[in-house]
Amino acid sequence: MPREALKAPLDFPRSAPYSHLDKANGLAMLIIPFDRPIDWKNPPFVTFALVLINSFIFFFVQHGEQAAYESARDYYYDSGLAAIELPRIKNRLEDSDQEWLQHLEDVPIEEPSPWFDVAISEAEVLQAVHRHQLLESDHPDYRQWLRQRDHFESLLNNITTYGHGLRPAMPEWTDMISHYFLHAGIMHLVGNMFFLITVGFLIEGVLGHGRYLLAYLLMGLGAGTFDLLFDSQRYTPGIGASGAIAGLMGLYTVLYGRRRVQFFFNFIIYFDVRVAPAILLLPFWLGYELYNLAFSSSNVNYLAHAGGLISGAVLGGLLRQFRADWLQTDFMNHRQQRAEEQEIQLRAQALEKSLDFKGAAVHYRKLWLANPSIETLAALFRCSKTSPESPAYVSAVKGALKSDMATQNQALCASIFLDFLDKKWSTSNKPKLSNEQYQVGAKLLLDQDKIQAADKLIAGMLKHSKHFEQAPQLAMQLSLAYKKQKNIHRAELYLKAIQKYCPQSLEARNAKVALESFSGGH
């Protein structure tokens, strides 16, 4: 079968038995980039939304395709169209050298028959039908055939993939967009969505959500445009997101350029994981599509894939040349940054092992500033606590007072802050912490039952409550902690201090009630 006969990325339509039409699958090659994990702090919302939209359309909008397909097929046979067309179709294709026809030589044209699928998919047949050349114009049934054929076409259009796929010979502007949200089967959908997630989030992280969505839509239009320009005589609908996804792949290779990326590849029976400049993937991807376009008789739309890749590469070049400020370079440099961080970590660990704690602290601080983590914070404090005036120790203390670090390991962060408080600082060399950081530290101490240390801090905060917004809440928590320890005197003392220094606060009203309960208890 010529390449133009079936151009759906997989069998079209999904409810029709096209297995006999797809005999040559082309060159077997697979390249999947997996350079970095998804950043769940900034998830690829648009990529996931596109997956949901494609899935919703497949499972709900395309849900009635089987019934529509069967309705069109039944009409084809019941109306007599099959009796008129199928013998002529068989005769027209007799001289064809298509290998797949050999499988149909002894297949009867009566219902049910795979010849029906040939009638709605074979390029030569569709061209003859739409040019009104299948039946002679002087045939007595010619006008009736035209009327029945028009009605049959309207029934075919009720099949979503047929009515809204892209047919270059009779294009509709809406089909330029709708065709890449339709899929021919569950495996077609799953395969495309897998590649959409794999490549899509790598582009969404670079362009941002809105620009990425625009790029995706443009890539689908680019793939469709190649179909219109270079396969303009095709009547078979093209469907599937693979053209748009191929565009993202082309965009990926150019945007990442000479940055080294990690990818899995499989060629025939050989497979491996390699690291290479992203731009080197483009000739392999494009060469694969062009080779199969030239030598494969598969129904995969290699032309749309190639068009998508080229469109993506062109867009990537334009963005790099004229809108480089749109690109999130930190996201693209993730692999290089991770490699540098690993090198720093190995150096720090080696220095710590050799008991060079000052040298190790310097490297752990670099690692902390590049990529803060609770593990790095622990190592930074471990190696710097004997050098409290060093920048490394200051970074450890301030890091412990970050809310995200405190949430991950309260005990560690409280111990670091307590170590800071216990140091014998002079006025000149004591690191300056913000009021907010002191409040975080006081909360940490209370949560870890470091009551005595928290007492000293909170007493000062109450006296300067204008500068410490959380002072009344902390004091109330401290009072409750003393009450739990049966130290009623200290509990009452802080309740009275709240009333004195924060009289307008909610805690002051609660303190009054609590003091009355204490009095009642006496």
Per mean pLDDT, which range of 7-16, 102-111, 172-181, 437-446 is the poorest? 7-16
Per-residue pLDDT of 234-255, as tens digits, reads 888 999 999 999 999 999 999 9
All structural domains of the chain with their residue ranges? 19-63+179-328, 65-171, 333-433, 434-522
CA angle at 160 for the pair 155 and 166, rounded to the nearest 5° = 105
Give the per-residue pLDDT at 67. 93
Same fold, 19-63+179-328 and 434-522: no
Q: Which CATH number is 19-63+179-328 given?
A: 1.20.1540.10
How far apart are alpha carbons 466 and 444 in whole angstroms? 21
Question: What is the topology classification, in CATH, of domain 434-522?
Answer: 1.25.40
| Stretch 45-68: mean pLDDT | 96
Is residue 466 predicted with pLDDT exceeding 50?
Answer: yes
Q: Where does the pLDDT of residue 21 fall: very low under 50, low under 70, confident under 90, or very high at 90 and above?
A: very low
Q: Whose CA is closest to 387, among 363, 353, 357? A: 357
Per-residue pLDDT of 309-367, as tens digits, reads 999 999 999 999 999 999 999 999 998 898 899 999 999 999 999 999 999 999 999 99
C-beta of residue 293 within 8 angstroms of C-beta of residue 27: no
Q: Write the CB contacts of 305 (distance below 8 Å, at least 6 apart in sequence).
A: 223, 242, 243, 246, 289
Is residue 122 predicted with pLDDT exceeding 90?
Answer: no
Q: Where does the pLDDT of residue 521 fall: very low under 50, low under 70, confident under 90, or very high at 90 and above?
A: low
Per-residue pLDDT of 179-229, as tens digits, reads 999 999 999 999 999 999 999 999 999 999 999 999 999 999 999 999 999
| Stretch 26-31: mean pLDDT | 81
Is pLDDT larger for residue 91 or for residue 366?
366
Looking at the chain, the whole-number percentage of residues with pLDDT higher than 90 is 73
Per mean pLDDT, which range of 100-114, 212-226, 280-294, 316-330 is the poorest? 100-114
How far apart are alpha carbons 445 and 439 in whole angstroms? 10
CA angle at 355 for the pair 354 and 356, rounded to the nearest 5° = 95
Give the per-residue pLDDT at 2. 29
Give the per-residue pLDDT at 427. 76
Q: Which CATH number is 333-433 given?
A: 1.25.40
Sheet of 260-267: strands edge to edge?
Answer: 29-33, 260-267, 270-277
C-beta of residue 182 within 8 angstroms of C-beta of residue 240: yes
Q: Where does the pLDDT of residue 20 fall: very low under 50, low under 70, confident under 90, or very high at 90 and above?
A: very low
Give the per-residue pLDDT at 268. 85
Give the per-residue pLDDT at 458. 95
Phi–psi pair at 465, nearest 5 degrees: -65, -20
| Stretch 436-459: mean pLDDT | 94
Q: Where does the pLDDT of residue 298 fall: very low under 50, low under 70, confident under 90, or very high at 90 and above?
A: confident
Is residue 3 predicted with pLDDT exceeding 50?
Answer: no
b/e map 410-425, b = 16+ CB within 10 Å: bebbbbbbbbbbeeee
Give the per-residue pLDDT at 464. 92
Q: Where does the pLDDT of residue 496 fall: very low under 50, low under 70, confident under 90, or very high at 90 and above?
A: very high
How far apart are alpha carbons 513 and 506 in whole angstroms? 11
Instruction: Report the chain's mean pLDDT, rounded to a whole number.
Output: 89
Q: Where does the pLDDT of residue 24 fall: very low under 50, low under 70, confident under 90, or very high at 90 and above?
A: very low
Model confidence, pTM = 0.77
Is residue 8 predicted with pLDDT exceeding 50?
Answer: no
Q: How distant, in Å, are the alpha carbons of 53, 65, 166, 197, 244 from that of 178?
A: 12, 16, 8, 20, 12
C-beta of residue 161 within 8 angstroms of C-beta of residue 65: yes
How far apart are alpha carbons 442 and 444 in whole angstroms? 5
Give the per-residue pLDDT at 123. 81
Q: Where does the pLDDT of residue 25 fall: very low under 50, low under 70, confident under 90, or very high at 90 and above?
A: low
